[in-house]
Amino acid sequence: MKRHLYTADHEAFRESVREFVAREVVPHHERWDEQRHVDRETWVSAGKQGLVGLSGPEEHGGGGMFRDYRYRNVLLEELAAAYAGGLASSFSLQDDILVPYFAELGTPEQQARWLPRLCSGELIAAIAMTEPGTGSDLQGIRTTGKKVDGGWVVNGAKTFITSGIQSDIVVVVTRTDPDGGRNAFSLLVVERDMPGFSRGRQLKKIGLPAQDTAELVFEDVFVPEDNLLGVEGGGLAQLKAMLPLERLSIAAQGIAVADAVVATTLGYTTEREAFGQPIADFQNTRFQLAELATEADVTRAYVDQCILAWNDGDLTDVDAAKAKWWATDMQTRVVDRALQLHGGYGYMVEYPVARAYQDARVQKIYGGTNEIMKHIIGGAMVRGARSDR
């Protein structure tokens, strides 16, 4: 079935991405896995080629593609084909979360101050939500911002922070009003050299080793009023407004990886022999390949529709939650079964399917766990049924 998502411009962009991946990613990503971060030079090179900052405003050096996610999706597909999951995830954080935050919530001064360097790859940004005792329940956040003359004094700790070590600026979800309920939280931008801001451990994960993940510590960090992003007390509402794009990004990554794994597994099974014939000639193998390809194709059709809905400004919280839940569950199923078709070789990290297996598991956790996604979907269904009575 022909795919109708892309235009000739998107396919021309794909050629540029492929050239970048071949030159700047494939020779290095195993080393990135070992050193547990991507070289900063790669960020700058990607910026020069227009591969980061795609969602940023053109007047600040971005690609102006905030409402055409197809360009970002091309990049995800090509990075998935190279099994560069750590880089894909890091770029997604920058382009699908942080750049839109600054573009949508920042003052003109903040945009001029940070967006050009975010879009060029010279600045790496992070967002700090999760705390040691708080996961998906953001209202349980304990990091505090005490109001003082000219700003806030921030104290607390965050964990599981992507780009935590390399980040130059961090958007910190902070409790600025102890009694404010849902209006208790604000987004404060903490900069690398602010006194009292330090990095804790760089965390070792079972997957995405090239994606630098760390603990952050805030001890009496003074954050000036000019570093308030958005409205004081509007943190949770601002986070919620940006979640559909983050979840679409995770879903898009899920189907991109699944497609890559299906293609790799097809190639492996047609070449690998057992009992005197290619294992692709066994009925069970063909049944498995058929199921994997069909699951991926059906999921891609829905995610493509979500991408078009985002482009039109119509992607709802519920549709994004469906895409995130389904695509990441599908991804883990497909990768697990593809690994089985590789036999013992599938368990060896030198084989791409093993890396995909390690990287896939977190997809069902970050961006809101898949259980939270089901809660969002089911809650909307129940509210809709009651309103129809």
Active-site residues, by number, are 246
| 174 burial via Cβ count (<10 Å: 0-12, 13-18, 19+) | buried
Rounded distance between C-alpha atoms, residue 375 and residue 172, angstroms: 26
Rounded distance between C-alpha atoms, residue 354 and residue 342, angstroms: 9
Structure tokens at 51: 């591969």
Q: Hunting for tokens 């349980």 — which residue is that? A: 140
CB 60 within 8 A of CB 19: no
Which of the 8 DSSP states describes residue 355?
A: H
Question: What is the identity of the amino acid at 25?
Answer: V
Length of the chain: 389
Q: Hunting for tokens 């791409």 — which residue is that? A: 352
Cα distances from 230 to residues 92, 101, 114, 346, in angstroms, run 21, 9, 14, 47
| 177 burial via Cβ count (<10 Å: 0-12, 13-18, 19+) | middle
